[in-house]
Amino acid sequence: MTINGEHAVAQHLQLKNAVGPNVAYLCTAMEIGVIKAFIDWKVFDHIPDEGQISSSSLADMIGGEQELLDLGPDRGGFPDAHAQSLHPLHGSFPAYLALHGFSSPKHAQVTPFGMATEHPNENVYEIIAGDPKLSKEFDSFIGRASKVFPMNGVYDLSWMQKQAAATRDRPLFVDIGGSNGHALRDILKDHPWLSAERCAVFDRAPTIEHTRANLDDSITSIQLVAGSVLDVLPSPVQGALIYQLHRVLNDFPDDDVRRCWKSLRTAAAPDTRVNVVEELLQANRNVAQDISLMLVGGKRRNAQMHAALAGEAGFKLNRIFPDTYNDCSVLEFLLA
C-alpha cells in the first residue's frame, strides 16, 4: 500500500460523507485517537505532500508495524451494534501504543480495551463476564448477530447425511460461539435428518447459562456445553463431524487463534471438517471495524491468513463458500 497526504484527506471526507450524524460522531472519536497516535509516532512527518511512500517503508521509519498503516480504502460506518461501546477507547489507543509499541495486540489479555476498562491483564470475554450489565448487552448483541449469516444456500451439508447415519456415538455439529442456538436451530430446520441430540452449542459459561434459561422450545434437545475453544475441548464435543466457528476467530490475535486451532486438532476425528464463518479482509472494507477489532485484540484476515494459521495445526483450506449479500464467507478446513 502507498500513502500520501491527499490520500489521508480523501479518507477523512469519505468517512464523513458516508455515515449519519450519530455514527459520524463515533467515527470522529475513534479518528481522534488514531490521529493522536500518528502525531505521537511522527507518522505525518514522513508522509510526502507530493508523491507516495509505501506503508512498509513508513513503518520502518517510525519503528512500527506495517499492518497498522495498511488501513486501505474505507466505506465508513459501524456495521456492528457493539461498536458504540468502543468509542471511549480512543483515548486509550495512544496510551496502549506508547506502552507496547506501534503494533497490534499480540495477546488477548493485553489490549486497549483492557486498559480502558482498568482490566489490563484480562481478555475481552473475561472483562465482559465480570460486568453483568455488559455481559447481558453482549449476549443480546451476539444473539441478534447470529441471524446475520444464514447457512442455507451458502454451504451444503448434504454430504453429512450418509456419515451421520453410519455413526451413532459422536457429535455431528458443534457450533462454537453459538450463543442462543438460533443459528443451529435454523440448520436443524433446513436439515431434518440431523439429530438435534447430537448437535451442540459450545460457548463461554455465562452465555451457556443464559441460553439454557432462554432456550428456544424447538431446540431443547440440543447439547449446551460450556468452555473455551482456547483450551482442551470437553469430551461431549470431541470428535465432531463439523465444528463451526461463527464470527469467533476475528476476535483474537494470532497467538490465540493458534491455540484455537491446536485445540481443534486435538479434538478432531480423521474426517472432521472445520467451518470458519467470517467477514474476510479485502481492499474495499470498513476500516473503522478493523480498528474496533484491534481495540479488543482481534483482526480481520483474508483466506490465506486463516489458512496459514490453520496449517500450523495440521489443517488445510479445502473450499471457500462466499455469501456476497452479507460480505461473509465459509472457509472449509480438513485435516491435512
What span, in angstroms and rounded, lies between the C-alpha atoms of 210 and 311? 35
Residue 31: phi, psi to the nearest 5? -60, -35
Q: Express each pLDDT in 259-310 by its tens digit.
A: 999 999 999 999 999 999 998 887 666 677 777 788 888 888 999 999 999 9
User: What are 33's three cell numbers?
Assistant: 485517537
Task: Of 243, 267, 264, 273, give the one whose Cα is nearest residue 309.
Answer: 264
User: What are 79's three cell numbers?
Assistant: 456495521
pLDDT given for residue 12 in this prediction: 40
First to last CA, the chain: 33
Strands (DSSP E) contained in 154-302 are 173-176, 199-203, 223-226, 242-246, 273-278
Count CB neighbours of 242 within 10 A.
Answer: 21
Residues 6 or more apart in contact with residue 74 via CB below 8 angstroms: 11, 14, 15, 18, 285, 286, 287, 288
pLDDT given for residue 264 in this prediction: 98
What span, in angstroms and rounded, lies between the C-alpha atoms of 46 and 201? 50
What span, in angstroms and rounded, lies between the C-alpha atoms of 227 and 234? 7
pLDDT given for residue 82 in this prediction: 35
Count CB neighbours of 166 within 10 A.
Answer: 7
Q: Is the dihedral of CA 62, 67, 68, 74 positive or negative?
A: positive
Q: Which helix (H) or strand (E) element contains residue 308?
A: helix 303-312
What are the residue ranges in the chain where pLDDT is below 70? 1-29, 71-91, 142-152, 283-286, 324-326
Residues in the chain, total: 336
Transcribe 62-97 into DSSP letters.
Answer: HT--GGGT----B--S--SGGGGGGGGGGGHHHHHH
The answer to whether 253 and 105 are in contact (CB under 8 A) is yes
